Amino acid sequence: MARYFDVHPDNPQPRALTQVVAILRDGGLVAYPTDSGFALGCVLGNRDGLDRIRAIRDLDRHHHFTLVCSTFAQLGQYVEMGNDTFRLLRAYTPGPYTFILRATREAPKAMLQEKRRTVGVRIPEHVTARALLDALGEPLMSSSLILPGSEDAATDGWSVNDELGHALDAVLDSGDAGLGPTTVVDLTGDAAEVVRVGVGDPEPFAT
């Protein structure tokens, strides 16, 4: 059964974050809040964690996971960015966007779109999510917590714990998960392509 951690939305308790990090580093799967609802996350290289996410969400082997980072510098280790892309991401991160970019050799192979060698990355604008990532010191391999039959990510931590506690190792809750998906922007071509319109304003990327 999952351990439930209820933290303050503005100042998440360091002790709770340290315990969640220990669970992640021990191979655990965690539900945590972001600015676009709850997400499921595990540490880099945790293939079992990715399989557990697929089972919870009923996803096929071709689902694209997202690398969720805490800082722009951290993000830059895993994706290739020219000058224009660099300026664009600096302007719109953190925020409710997921960007698809070409992966560097540092990106987890289990997450890559095999033929294109691309990966989705984002920096959430959410205090608890960023605090967890800072405490961990590395990105999380993540997917929105959208249950089969639902269109939106879960937003209530108590409900997540009640419904999925048997399938998770921890639920981190600060009572302020955002509502609505991220806007997904593909930056691998000659021009930006909005793949999905969500909470983030797509207008800056319109061509």
pLDDT tens, position by position, 188-206: 988 899 999 999 999 998 8
pLDDT digits (tens, 9 = 90+) for 45-66: 999 999 999 999 999 877 788 9
What architecture is the 3-205 domain classified under in CATH?
Alpha-Beta Complex (3.90)
Provide the strand spans (E) within the chain: 3-6, 30-34, 37-43, 66-68, 97-102, 118-122, 140-144, 170-173, 183-186, 193-196
Report domain extents, the chain: 3-205
Q: What is the pLDDT of residues 103-151, one digit of tens each?
A: 988 888 777 766 678 889 999 999 999 999 999 999 999 999 999 999 8
For residues 22 and 172, what is the distance between their CA atoms, to the nearest angstrom?
A: 13
Other Cβ atoms less than 10 A from the Cβ of 6: the count is 15
Measure the CA–CA gap between 138 and 83, rounded to whole angstroms: 24
